[in-house]
Structure 1
Amino acid sequence: MKMQGILPALVTPFDKSGHVDGATLASIVEYQLNAGVSGFVALGSTGEYYALDDAERRLVMRTVKEVANGKGTLIANCNGASTREVIAQVRQAIECGFTNILLAPPFYALPSQEELIGHYQAVLDAFADINVILYNYPIRTNVEVGTSVLEAFRHHPRVVGIKESSGNLLRAIEIGENFKGDYQLSCGSDDQALDFFLWGATSWICGPANCFPDQVVAFQRAFAAGDIQGAQAVMRSLFPVLASMEQGKFIQKVKYGCELAGFNSGNARLPLLPLSEAEKAEFRAIFEASQR
């Protein structure tokens, strides 16, 4: 299983009644495929997985699977508050055709590093046919996927990578240097993407790719071709909009970006509130400047 290129962390569109909008999701997936992305991450943080029920999660995964039709790597985020819940989510993902699983630490329980190792091992023991991508996002889980966890699974054939979303570039450097060849490193801090690739990342699991896939694909292709200045130029044009997203209301801004790109993905679900008209105007100006 190769984690390469741009892997959009898909939004979950909602229609005017608040239901999952499979048709709009299919259009977004097709749009990104045409732009040249390498695969998709369904039900991630950007996809509001925490706000969906199981029937909605199945609809999302089956839509992505059907539209992608073997044209890229598919990854399902299967997080939960307990090991039992995570195992149930993984089983559901497998039933929908996903065998690459993104796993953050269980939230709220605050497991120790030893307990986190046991959690991941229990999931691996429950399924013989999955690949696991560790997901370090301590701002969401309040638990870091620490060095001891990375050491524990560095030679496990089915623990294939890590999405690093701590915002701490030193973590990416440490993984790229100390665990080179053991984990495929994926950028999960959008405003640090160029730095990640310089330190060995092979992919970017990218929420903003929902609304400007052409630019992020152009960045990755320039870097892969050895055109560092070209990659830097793309990132320079994107940095204001990425910085705006990182400053707050990330999901709402990605969804509004989808609207600006021609895909009405609806509002985020409560407790997240829609952008105000002033916030929309400010973001629209930054977004449109990034397209020039």
Structure 2
Amino acid sequence: MDLTGIGGIWPASLTPFDRDGAVDEAALTAHLGHLAAAPGVRALVVNGHAGETSALDRAERQQVVRIARAVAGAATGVVAGIVAEDPRAASALARDAREAGADALLLFPPLLFAGGAEARPEMVLRFFAAVAEAAPLPIVLFQLSRASGLGYAPELLARLLREVPSIIAVKEGSEIPAAYEDNLLVLRDCGRQVSMLTSNNTWLLASLAFGGDGILSGIGSVAPGILAEMHDAAARGDLAAARRANDRLRPLVRVFYRRPSLDMHNRMKTALNLMGLLPNPAPRAPLLPITEGERAEIRRALVASGLLAGGEMAA
């Protein structure tokens, strides 16, 4: 599927494990099927932070992509996260993803870039070029916060778009509204179609108000319908409807995106378990299961958002 110019909702999926800690293929198939069937979902994103990809070995990552491809069919895209610390490993993962049927790659910056990659732009360009050459698939660039050192300044972003034509979208998580707006202007001025997919999870509505083509986020694994309502309302300029959707989303945002941030997707697994959509919410070590007290808070947030009614999943 050609994802060029495609916006809408791109949920960053979770990876279920069974009681022995292995990838639970049946639960993953059901999870991805539920997401693919949700109105407004245009692509399934696997092997990202939400999918605990750093805890998966190479074979498991390819296994996840294969399952996603089988579930998605022809109507929904499959985007494979590429998380690696050097171009050789990233290229190997990219080739695996292509072989397994991915439509595009979500290319994460190596943690090494946090040490000042913007001062060595050729290093960044070579990293992208190596992956693009290894697996000729469209690339979604992952733009993290500038404070983390893993975001690209507008000048470098513009150069990447010029010199790596396979980049078709940006997963934008700069965390600062002014930076988001600057990056959006770079995309609009680059001379070709590059989609802006916001992942600024604590201010999704505000980012859509600036402009944008879609939402790529782990919270889409729990509430794809709410995200679709908000996105569609913002796109048609219906601020009142967008605010109503945001009001439903807010309790989930508050309970998922708080300290310690390493548990954010762990909390989402617990939410799906409470909704009857995931048999085993346990993450893979070294992450620990959610405490009973936090589980109760997640339940209250689901009720407040309308996703649970009387302890059961709302229609």
Instruction: Provide TM-score, normalisation by structure 1.
Output: 0.93
8 A contact 1:117–1:149 mirrored in 2: no
> Match of 1:286, as an amino acid?
A
Is 2:107 the counterpart of 1:103?
yes
Look up the match of 1:163: 171
Look up the match of 2:22: 19
Alpha-carbon spacing, 1:18–1:140, altered in 2? closer, same or farther (3 Å): farther
Q: What are the equivalent positions in structure 2 for 1:232-271 lying under 5 Å apart?
A: 232-248=243-259, 249-264=263-278, 265-271=280-286
Is 2:42 the counterpart of 1:31?
no
8 A contact 1:130–1:158 mirrored in 2: yes
Q: What are the equivalent positions in structure 2 for 1:1-292 lying under 5 Å apart?
A: 1-36=4-39, 37-108=41-112, 110=115, 112-113=117-118, 114=121, 115-127=123-135, 129-138=136-145, 142-155=149-162, 156-182=164-190, 183-248=194-259, 249-264=263-278, 265-291=280-306
Q: For residues 286 and 153 of structure 1, what CA distance do their matches in structure 2 show?
A: 40
1:73-126 superposed Cα distances (whole Å, 9 cap, x missing partner)? 221111201111101110110010114111121124646221112211222233
> Match of 2:300, as an amino acid?
A
1:26-82 superposed Cα distances (whole Å, 9 cap, x missing partner)? 111221222211111110100011000112111111111001111212211112011
- Cα deviation for residue 181 of structure 1 reads 4.8
Between 28-37 and 279-288, the greater mean CA deviation after superposition: 28-37
SS of 2:49's partner is coil
8 A contact 1:79–1:103 mirrored in 2: yes
Between 112-121 and 131-140, the greater mean CA deviation after superposition: 131-140
Alpha-carbon spacing, 1:174–1:139, altered in 2? closer, same or farther (3 Å): closer
> Match of 1:199, as an amino acid?
F
Q: For residues 111 and 75 of structure 1, what CA distance do their matches in structure 2 show?
A: 28
Q: For residues 298 and 287 of structure 2, what CA distance do their matches in structure 1 show?
A: 17
- Cα deviation for residue 224 of structure 1 reads 2.7
8 A contact 2:95–2:134 mirrored in 1: no
SS of 2:282's partner is coil
Look up the match of 2:312: none
> Match of 1:72, as an amino acid?
T
Q: For residues 290 and 139 of structure 1, what CA distance do their matches in structure 2 show?
A: 31
- Cα deviation for residue 142 of structure 1 reads 4.0
Paired residues, number: 291
C-alpha RMSD of matched pairs (Å): 1.9
8 A contact 2:104–2:137 mirrored in 1: yes
- Cα deviation for residue 226 of structure 1 reads 2.8
- Cα deviation for residue 139 of structure 1 reads 8.4
Alpha-carbon spacing, 1:141–1:16, altered in 2? closer, same or farther (3 Å): farther
Q: For residues 270 and 20 of structure 1, what CA distance do their matches in structure 2 show?
A: 13
> Match of 1:157, as an amino acid?
P
Instruction: Provide TM-score, normalisation by structure 2.
Output: 0.86
Q: For residues 189 and 29 of structure 2, what CA distance do their matches in structure 1 show?
A: 35
Q: For residues 291 and 284 of structure 1, what CA distance do their matches in structure 2 show?
A: 11
Alpha-carbon spacing, 1:269–1:140, altered in 2? closer, same or farther (3 Å): farther
8 A contact 1:173–1:199 mirrored in 2: yes
8 A contact 2:142–2:170 mirrored in 1: yes
1:197-229 superposed Cα distances (whole Å, 9 cap, x missing partner)? 122210101211212222222222222333221
Between 109-118 and 207-216, the greater mean CA deviation after superposition: 109-118
- Cα deviation for residue 269 of structure 1 reads 1.4
> Match of 1:220, as an amino acid?
H
8 A contact 1:104–1:134 mirrored in 2: yes
